[in-house]
Amino acid sequence: MPTRRLLLRPFSPDDADFVIALVNDPAWLRFIGDRQVHDRAGAEAYIARLNRMHAEHGHGALLIELRATGAPVGLAGLFRRPGLTVPDVGFALLPEYIGCAYAFEAADAVLRDARPRLNLSQVLGVTVPANTASIRVLEKLGLRYARTLRQPGSSEDLSLYRRTWGRKKPAGVVHGGR
């Protein structure tokens, strides 16, 4: 899925070293959590889980690459969280690529693709309240704060953001009149 500056694509086993770097970055660990991915085998298993989500739900994490260089910079996608019935838009970047609007560009592309394809009427964004950079991206995407939530089995409060759209009418359907 190309954008002006980025290419979003499924992960492959060749991305294992990048995944190790991303999921062990201090910001990932602070705001997303430790995925226990510390070696190539762990990264390949993590990639397989991400790709399984795509196969099962028609959406999931995509790798974000710079179109100009092919360098991997992060991930973006729609995710399923326990206890939530609506997909959650998520994104993460390596620290050297934060502040370039890549998270917004990638997440916006994900939503533009998924909304009509999956007939989404709403999308969620979930983050820790201290993650102000992610909150700014969610708000720029049109999501608004809805409530505080706690995931099953967790003691951490999270901020839930939501965006709702009207469902598109099927072609040829006309309302009103007699």
CA distance 149 to 123: 15
Closest CA to 97 of 117, 75, 81: 75
Residue 38 has φ and ψ, to the nearest 5°, of: -125, -5
Residue 178, pLDDT > 50, answer no
Amino acid at 175: H
Closest CA to 163 of 109, 100, 120: 120
Amino acid at 84: L
Give the lowest-confidence range in 21-35, 144-158, 164-178: 164-178
CA distance 55 to 49: 10
The predicted model scores a pTM of 0.89
The pLDDT of 169-176, averaged and rounded, is: 48
Give the pLDDT band (50/70/90) at residue 143: very high
Residue 175 has φ and ψ, to the nearest 5°, of: -110, 155
The DSSP bridge partners found for residue 147 are 160
The pLDDT of 11-23, averaged and rounded, is: 97
Q: Which residues contact 47 (CB under 8 A, 6 or more apart)?
A: 11, 12, 13, 15, 16, 19
**What are 104-126's pLDDT values in tens digits?**
999 999 999 999 999 999 999 99
Neighbours of 117 (CB within 10 A): 10
The pLDDT of 8-23, averaged and rounded, is: 97
Q: Are 124 and 84 in contact (CB under 8 A)?
A: yes
pLDDT at residue 163, rounded to an integer: 97
Domains of the chain: 6-117 (3.40.630.30)
Per cent of the chain over pLDDT 90 is: 80
Neighbours of 26 (CB within 10 A): 8
**What are 66-114's pLDDT values in tens digits?**
999 999 999 999 998 888 899 999 999 999 999 999 999 999 999 999 9
Give the lowest-confidence range in 9-13, 67-71, 81-85, 131-135: 81-85
Residue 170, pLDDT > 90, answer no
- 130: DSSP letter: T
CA distance 107 to 78: 9
